[in-house]
Amino acid sequence: MPSSLRDTTTLHNGVKMPWFGLGVFKVKEGEEVVRSVKAAIKNGYISIDTAAVYKNEEGVGQAIKESGVAREELFITTKVWNADQGYDSTLQAFETSLGKLGLDYIDLYLIHWPVKGKYNDTWKALEKLYRDGRVRAIGVSNFHVHHLEDLLSHAEIKPMVNQIEYHPHLTQKEVHDFCKKEGIQLEAWSPLKQGVLLTDPTINEIAEKHNKSAAQIILRWDLQNEVVTIPKSTNENRIIENADIFDFELTPEEMQRINDLNKNDRIGSDPDNFNF
């Protein structure tokens, strides 16, 4: 099990990806995102997850520059948005993201959603970027098993990561099992279900027992399920608290009780019915 913020999982191409990072979805461009990314890096985070559609890549880039931490010590993820999917447009979108971030390379580049009829061409562009050494790892986001099966039947390089909505109300066991079988690392977005799960009685009962917060219990549950997690916060105390999950362990029985909270309930869109 990971024992610190610097601990990594090894992706199937040998690249090491931190188990824990900061997500910046809905964090405002400018001072807010610069402040939260700098706070995270100052407190030991090395993984930052953004996306073209978040419109805050410039702020993330500025925070990286101002953090004083060497680029190669950090793990930066961004994503190609739906409107930019397709081969040439993806290559162009990548250059735009890279320019906004002010970086020479990206650690992980993801297809944000499985846009029907386009994601296989988009993937070809990601394979090119990977072969050209512009990105260290490539992957997908919000892909169901049938999307992954289709992609794998066309791909030359297997995705290294699948980032999905994942939390105790949406454990996506089928996707999890498939990714494990294929050696694709699962990553959780919205691990706290945008705060909805923080009042869950079962989680709070377990939290009390460990003298931890509900958020810490859920994030620890992610890690013990071998899922990379990237909670979002703009509050420095919360950023520190979220990461304080390496000094305790949930028992198998507690893990099961949290698994049993699943009700296949999403807070985000269903990839099969997303309005692309």
Catalytic site residues?
Answer: 54
Angle at 139 between CA 241 and CA 229, to 5 degrees: 15
* Residues 114 and 86 sit within 8 Å (Cβ to Cβ): no
CA separation for the pair 198, 274 (Å, rounded): 27
Give the C-alpha separation, 40 to 34, whole Å: 10
Tokens of 221: 């549950």
Helix boundaries (H) for 173-235:
173-182, 201-210, 214-224
| Strand ranges of the sheet holding 106-111, from the earlier edge strand across to the other edge | 22-23, 47-49, 75-80, 106-111, 135-141, 161-165, 185-189, 228-229
Tell me which H or E stretch contains 34. helix 31-42
Distance (Å, rounded) from C-alpha 266 to C-alpha 181?
24
Angstrom distance (rounded) from CA 35 to CA 62: 10
Distance, in Å, from the CA atom of 37 to the CA atom of 150, rounded to the nearest integer, reads: 36
